[in-house]
Amino acid sequence: MPTTTRAFSISAPDIEAEKERCGGDLDAFEFSRVLKLDDLELPDPGPGDVRMRILAASAEHNVDHAILADTVNIVESRGGKIYPGNSALGEVLEVGSDVTRFKPGDIVITHCNGDPDEFGFPKRIWAYDTDDSIGWYAEHAVVGEWQLIPAPLDCGLSLWEIAALPLRAPTAYHLWRRAIGIYRLKVSEAQQPKLNVLGFGGGVSELFLMLAKAEGHDAYFCSGSPARRKKLEEQGIVGIDQKAYNRFAEKGDVKAFSNEVKTLTGGVGMHAVCDMLRGPVFPAGFQALARQGVNVSAGWQLSQVLQYNSTIASVKQLTLDHTHYETIPHCAEATKLYGSVFKPTVHDEIYPFADLARCMGEMYENTQTGVPIVRIAEDLPDSVKGIAG
């Protein structure tokens, strides 16, 4: 029989009403008026499906932008209501007759590749723009076996650190594969064995830099968060205070940052930069690039339009690469790096399930000290209690 679960939803009428209430001022936007807890009926698992209990989930920026509809009103385009959440850790409760990789009691993580193309890369993201997809900000879920990866419980990370990675790790893994691959098409390892690598801001960039550092490169993290810089500095990654440059609000701030980069790199600049290719950090990252440099990005939410000086890019042999997310096999490869390479910074507070809207609002306000995690299950299975902290 179908089961009912509690799950958070976002509706287009609620977005419209809240925008009207706050007069379009997104700083006055109350997330709890839009991200609401619903009762959702789940189907019985089909032959290839898994029914799972969600233990924890990480908050993701694409959900913030779905709530705000600040670039694309994805909720309206999906028919007026969505159930978000595309990064989670859960316990398998029941499997369909054709499922071979999992059994009840297994702990699993999700990936969000919702609609692979012929080469395995996603055309759409699960619980965001994939048609009819139901996300994992819920107490229970029914998903296809293909959407799950065994959770590496023995990797040395806490349960909450593992929960921070299912979306971010494959994204960073893909960004790094492309950044180093593109650069090596232009400059061989013999010519330039060690690269200068820069990342801006959040969880994906942190992991991107961890990959670069693990391969022997010099890594630099530009963030306004002292706590996040400190965590990466403990791993040998140089911190740069973004607030010292007024978050690049003026051309003079960008110039000052460029001078700092030149000082740090002996005048060379950054061979690889990970940013959002949009918003205030883009001019800073673009100017920081060394000759033959590569700028990679998986972001888009701040804007859909990008402007840059193509003449400078041509003269310096720069490459700007727009990326999205990994293939499913490479999501599994990224998972193998949990604990050995990927050691995420987690926000000090683990949010209760009921406080998801507050969590999303604080992520938008950029006040969190690391990746925000939401604990969905009060009672944890014995298999994870030892790493729950």
User: Domain check: are 356 and 293 in the same one?
Assistant: no
- The answer to pTM > 0.85 is yes
Question: Do residues 145 and 191 both lie within one domain?
Answer: no
**SS3 of residue 332 by DSSP:** helix
Task: Write out pLDDT tens, residues 171-199.
Answer: 999 999 999 999 999 999 999 999 999 99
**How far apart, in Å, are the Cα atoms of 336 and each of 95, 171, 237?**
24, 14, 22
Instruction: Report if residue 365 sits inside a domain.
Output: yes
Domain membership of residue 146 (yes or no) is yes
Q: 389 Cβ partners below 8 Å, 6+ apart? A: 158, 159, 160
pLDDT in tens, 328-348: 999 999 999 999 999 999 999
State which residues form the domain around 230: 169-322
Three-class DSSP category at 52: strand
pLDDT in tens, 292-317: 999 998 665 555 667 778 898 999 99
Determine, yes or no, domain membership for 335: no
pLDDT band at 277; cut points 50, 70, 90: very low
State residue 298's pLDDT score.
66
289-315 burial code (b ≥16 CB/10 A, e <16): bbebbbbbbbbbbbeeeeeeeeeebee
Q: Is the dihedral of CA 343, 345, 349, 354 positive or negative?
A: negative
Q: Would 338 be classed as within a structural domain? A: no
Give ∠ CA 302-305-309 in degrees, rounded to 5: 115
Q: What is the mean pLDDT of the chain?
A: 92
Judge whether residue 278 has pLDDT over 60: no
Which pLDDT score is estimated for 303? Answer: 59
Amino acid at 279: G
Structural domains counted in the chain: 2
* Residues 351 and 367 reside in one and the same domain: yes
Q: Which of 290, 322, 354 is the last residue of a domain?
A: 322
Task: Tell me the residue length of the chain.
Answer: 389
Residues 147 and 24 occupy one common structural domain = yes
Q: Are residues 78 and 146 in the same domain?
A: yes
**Which band of pLDDT confidence, cut at 50, 70 and 90, is reported for residue 250?**
confident
Share of the chain above pLDDT 90, in %: 74
The verdict on 136 and 284 lying in the same domain is no
Query: Is 337 part of a structural domain of the chain?
Result: no
Q: Are residues 248 and 176 in the same domain?
A: yes
Where is average pLDDT lowest: 26-35, 62-71, 87-96, 161-170? 62-71
Give residue 2's pLDDT. 65
Query: Is residue 329 in a domain?
Result: no
Higher pLDDT, 290 or 72: 290
The answer to whether residues 180 and 118 belong to one domain is no
Structure tokens at 232: 């990466």
From CA 324, how far away is CA 299, in angstroms rounded? 8
**Residue 76: what residue type?**
E
Residue 327 domain-assigned (yes or no): no
DSSP state of 307: -
More confident residue, 250 or 105: 105
351 forms beta bridges with 374
Judgement on whether residues 152 and 176 belong to the same structural domain of the protein: no
Residues 6+ positions from 378 with CB-CB distance below 8 Å: none
Burial classification of residue 42, based on how many CB atoms lie within 10 Å of its CB (0-12 exposed, 13-18 middle, 19 or more buried): middle
Q: Is residue 34 part of a domain?
A: yes
262 and 378 housed in the same domain: no
Same domain, 160 and 285: no
* Same domain assignment for residues 57 and 122: yes
CATH number for the domain spanning 65: value is: 3.90.180.10
Please tell me the predicted confidence (pLDDT) of residue 83.
Answer: 95
